[in-house]
Amino acid sequence: MKRIQIITTGGTIAMKADPATGALTPAVTGPDLAAAVPGLSAYADIGVKEFSNIPSGYMTPEKMLKLAEYIDSASETGEADGFVVTHGTDTLEETAFFLDVALHTQKPVCVTGAMRGASDISADGPGNILGAVRTAADNKAAGMGVLVVLNDRIHAAWDVTKTHTTCTDTFQSPQWGPLGTVYGDEIVFGRQPLKHIKIHPESVQKKVWLLTCVSGMDGELFRLAGEQGISGIIVEGLGCGNVPPRVKAAVEELGKKGIPMVLVSRVPCGSVKEEYGYDGSARSMKTSGIILGGSLSGPKARLLLLMALGAGHGRREIQSDFGSTF
C-alpha cells in the first residue's frame, strides 16, 4: 500500500462557522481533517503534516518555496510515496503552479481544498481529500506534474483556474480541459499534461508588480512602478497582448531602464501574439524588450518571473523560461 502524506496549509477546508457570528474561521487541525474522511486507510497508509493553518490569502511566495523544499526533502528521505496538499481555494492555483515549477520530485503531488467549511451542510472537503489521496496513490499519477483535484476532476496545475467565487465546480481548465476524473473506485486520465519549465530558485525576495490594462488607461501606474525599485513587471494586456497607446509609451520607458517585463493577456484563454501592427500592439512593443508570456495568467506569470529572478536568470534566460509557456 502506498504511503501518502497529507500536508495541511489551512483554508476553508480547515474552517468552521463561529457560533457567535456564523463566519468561517480556522478551527480544524491536520489530523482532524484526515480523521473526518471515512475510508482513507483503504487506499493508502496516511501520514499528516501540519504545515500551517492560514487563510489562503495569507499565502506568500516565500511560504510556497518553503513548502516545495519540505516536499522535496520528505520525498528524498522516503517519508512518503506521494503527497496531498490541502489549501484554501483563493490562491490554490498559484501555490499549485509554484510547486509544479519548483519541485524536483517526480512523485505524485495533488493539491485540493474545499468551497464549503467543515461545519457546513454537504461539506465538500472530505470528498475532495479522498479523491486527492486516491489520485496520489495511483501509479499513473507519477511524473504527471502537480495535480489539482477537486469535485472529482483532475487538473494540471499549469492550466487550472478558479472560475466562480462560491460554486463547488469552480476549478476549471478552460484552455485544454481536465486531465482526468475520479470515477468511483477508479482514477481515469484522458490526456497527458504538457511538459513545462522547471526553475529551482534560492529565494523569491524580488519585487514584481502585476498591472492589468483597461480601456483609456494612461501610463502613470507604470511610471510609478519604475520609481519603486521593482525587479520586474507583468503587463496584463488586452486581447492577444495589446495595450492603450499611453501605456505603450510608459512600457518603452521601463524598457530603457532594463526592467524585465512580461506581456500576458487578461483574456482567460489563448496566447499573446504579434497579431497587429498598430501603436500599442504586442508587435509594436518589441523594441522595449518586453517578453511574450504565452497563455499564462497574470498571477502565474508573476510567480514564474519571481522564480526566474530568484534563480539568477538574466533576460535571455527569462525569455527562454517564458518561451515554453505556449
Active site residues: 12
DSSP conformation letters of 260-286: -EEEEESSSSS-------STTSTGGGG
Residue 13 CA to residue 99 CA, distance in Å, equals 20
Copy the grid coordinates of residue 140: 499513473
Helices 298-310 + 61-76 axis angle, to 10 = 70
Taking CA atoms, 43 is separated from 3, 36, 54, 124, 210, in Å, by 9, 15, 28, 19, 42
CA distance 211 to 97: 20
Four-CA torsion 266, 269, 275, 280, nearest 10 degrees: 0
* Residue-wise DSSP of 47-93: EEEEEEEE-GGG--HHHHHHHHHHHHHHHHTTS-SEEEEE--SSSHH
